[in-house]
Amino acid sequence: MKAIKKAAALAAALSCALSVAACGNTSSSESSMPEKVLKEDQQQIVDRLSDSIKEPRKLDNTTIKWFSHWDINPTESEDKDIGVDLALFKKKYNGKIEWMQTTWENYFDDLAKNVMANSSPDFIGADDMNVFPKCAIKDMVEPIDDYIDFSTPLWSDMKTASDKFIFGGKHYVAVVRVDPSYIWIYNKKVIDDIGFDQPADLWKDGKWNWDTMCDMCIEFTDAEADKYALDGWYYENALLESTGLPLIDMKDGKIVNNIKAPELAKAEDMMYDLQKNQVVYPKDQHDWKVRGDVFGDGLASGLTLFYPIGFWGIENAPSSTAPYGNIADDEVMFVPVPCAKDSDKQYIPSRVHAFCLAKGAKNPEGVAAWLDCTRYAETDEAAHQITLDQLADDYGWTQEMLDMRDEIYKMAAEAPVFEFAQGISQDISNLTDNIIKGTMNPAGTSTWTQLVEENEKALDYYIEKEQNSIK
């Protein structure tokens, strides 16, 4: 188990290292790169959206402070595009987002220090599912209800999802959209060279499931040739949540422990059998790092078969996606996380694209204006097309990729699976990480029966402790 904890810590460090900005001490920062602009026809859509906001919020201050280990402004690379949401915020309000920089490891400590020192940021992100309910419990975020009305046409579609994030009868998370947490990325050329069926074709034929995925992984793996079917930090969580159940859920304000659910046992037994065939890259032999210490490394070279990761792994500039293959040459494709062959529906491990108002925020109305812009960008079809056009024109995405992306997003909205472990407490997050990854730990696996016996009481104890805090 110690090895898994070390892996989790290093995963966090790796995520920090690969984030949109380099990690450092907490500080405010503005980009020194040239300001990004949309193409003329895309800017016309933003202009139309801006004109459609007939009753804009009245802002005394058009700058809002964003607290994160990454910069929400498009500064990662010179070929990274600006989003419609930020372009609209700039157009309608002359809005600016100032980055208050922190690190992944010190995020919550730094946030608490700023709140206590009356130097709070204005807003934080909830995309990683790690801020709720603990930031509400610890009084580091404020209710959003005074600024966002979920009964309005702009926000009503997000009320059901936002209702999952209620504490003390108040909404603490403004959900902009439901996002798939993970996709199954592969290199089409490698698949063809091996002679496998393309996973996207299997998906269309209703044959993409745990069984076909496992058969491909086992046949591909050749440790002597340094070929391992799976790499990354997310395959265990992805496969577990594909059952339709998270390990830790929240219902009606209550924390729910699903460790005894037969669906989870079925998934973990499948993962245990996979690990017995040594299909995962042995990070324990490489200082607990993914291959090459870079996400996606191994796909283009044919040493890795599948790379489970979020859309963020490939919705990026070509300079960042090269390890997966040449997208513009139609080498890269993805499918949903496979479910069990007898699953009643295609469950999509999901998270939310969402934001929280920081406790003591000096410009909550500015944050509300930004949030409105994010929803306008999400609900306008032409604005959505800008995103697709950017992926196609600037990042080389094929129509097949765009169609699959839309299909996965649609399924995520219909059958999302949210895992709340990281948002409750560090104790629960650490313990559940060990439990979920225990059957596929390359340093030494445990059976699901063993993991349940060893951890069920401790998990119940931590849940009861946090549940009492919520009351």
Give the predicted TM-score (pTM) of the model: 0.80
Residue 115 has pLDDT above 90, yes or no: yes
452 and 387 belong to one structural domain:
no
Classify residue 222: in a domain, yes or no. yes
Name which of 8, 92, 17, 25 is nearest 52 in CA terms: 92
**Nearby residues of 273 by Cβ (< 8 Å), 6 or more positions away:** 214
Give the model's confidence band at 7: pLDDT under 50 very low, under 70 low, under 90 confident, else very high: very low
424 and 387 belong to one structural domain:
no
SS3 276: helix
**Nearby residues of 152 by Cβ (< 8 Å), 6 or more positions away:** none
Dihedral sign of CA atoms 84, 89, 90, 93 in order:
positive
Q: In whole angstroms, what is the distance from residue 313 CA to residue 280 CA? A: 19
Name which of 26, 32, 40 is nearest 69 in CA terms: 26
> Of 406, 426, 448, which residue sits at a domain end?
406
Give the model's confidence band at 86: pLDDT under 50 very low, under 70 low, under 90 confident, else very high: very high
Q: What is the DSSP letter of 180?
A: E
341 and 368 belong to one structural domain:
no
213 and 278 belong to one structural domain:
yes
Classify residue 438: in a domain, yes or no. yes
pLDDT of amino acid 250: 82
77 and 149 belong to one structural domain:
yes
131 and 34 belong to one structural domain:
yes
How large is the greatest C-alpha to C-alpha distance in the chain, in angstroms?
Answer: 65
> Of 406, 435, 450, which residue sits at a domain end?
406
79 and 116 belong to one structural domain:
yes
Dihedral sign of CA atoms 278, 281, 282, 284 in order:
negative
Q: In whole angstroms, what is the distance from residue 130 CA to residue 169 CA? A: 20
Name which of 187, 193, 192, 163 is nearest 175 in CA terms: 163
Dihedral of the alpha carbons of 292, 298, 299, 303, in degrees to the nearest 10: -170
Number of folded domains in the chain?
Answer: 2
Q: What is the pLDDT of residues 415-463, one digit of tens each?
A: 889 999 999 999 999 999 999 999 999 998 999 999 999 999 999 999 9
Query: How large is the average pLDDT for residues 359-387?
Result: 93
Backbone angles phi, psi at 199, to 5 degrees: -55, -35
**Nearby residues of 270 by Cβ (< 8 Å), 6 or more positions away:** 210, 214, 239, 340
Q: What is the pLDDT of residues 176-231, one digit of tens each?
A: 999 999 999 999 999 999 999 999 999 999 999 999 999 999 999 999 999 999 99
Residue 359 has pLDDT above 70, yes or no: yes
Classify residue 115: in a domain, yes or no. yes
Classify residue 207: in a domain, yes or no. yes
85 and 197 belong to one structural domain:
no
Q: What is the DSSP letter of 328?
A: G
Retrieve residue 175's tokens.
Answer: 């959900």
Give the model's confidence band at 75: pLDDT under 50 very low, under 70 low, under 90 confident, else very high: low
Q: Of the ranges 51-60, 203-212, 234-243, which one carries the lowest mean pLDDT score? A: 51-60
The answer for 244, left when phi > 0, alpha when psi is -120 to 50, beta otherwise, is: left
Residue 249 has pLDDT above 50, yes or no: yes
51 and 174 belong to one structural domain:
yes
Q: In whole angstroms, what is the distance from residue 108 CA to residue 103 CA? A: 9
Query: How large is the average pLDDT for residues 127-145?
Result: 93
Retrieve residue 461's tokens.
Answer: 């104890």
Classify residue 253: in a domain, yes or no. yes
Give the model's confidence band at 167: pLDDT under 50 very low, under 70 low, under 90 confident, else very high: confident
Residue 160 has pLDDT above 90, yes or no: no
Tokens 């009492």, residue?
468
Residue 323 has pLDDT above 70, yes or no: yes
pLDDT of amino acid 470: 65
- Could you give the percent of the chain with pLDDT greater than 90? 75
Type of residue at 314? I
pLDDT of amino acid 252: 72
pLDDT of amino acid 26: 52
Dihedral sign of CA atoms 316, 374, 109, 6 in order:
negative
| Average pLDDT in the chain | 89
Give the model's confidence band at 321: pLDDT under 50 very low, under 70 low, under 90 confident, else very high: very high
- Could you give the percent of the chain with pLDDT greater than 70? 90
Contact 264, 421 (CB under 8 A): no
DSSP string, 412-453: HHHSEEE--GGGT-HHHHHHHHHHHHGGG-TT----HHHHHH
Classify residue 396: in a domain, yes or no. yes
359 and 340 belong to one structural domain:
no
Classify residue 411: in a domain, yes or no. no
Contact 213, 388 (CB under 8 A): no
pLDDT of amino acid 27: 56
Classify residue 144: in a domain, yes or no. yes
Q: In whole angstroms, what is the distance from residue 418 CA to residue 247 CA? A: 9
158 and 116 belong to one structural domain:
yes
Q: What is the pLDDT of residues 10-47, one digit of tens each?
A: 333 333 333 333 333 455 555 444 556 777 878 888 99
pLDDT of amino acid 456: 96
Domain that holds residue 299: 183-348+418-470
Contact 28, 108 (CB under 8 A): no
Residue 166 has pLDDT above 90, yes or no: no
136 and 234 belong to one structural domain:
no
Cross-strand partners of 309: 183
Q: In whole angstroms, what is the distance from residue 324 CA to residue 296 CA? A: 5
Backbone angles phi, psi at 251, to 5 degrees: -135, 125
CATH number for the domain spanning 67: value is 3.40.190.10
pLDDT of amino acid 5: 37
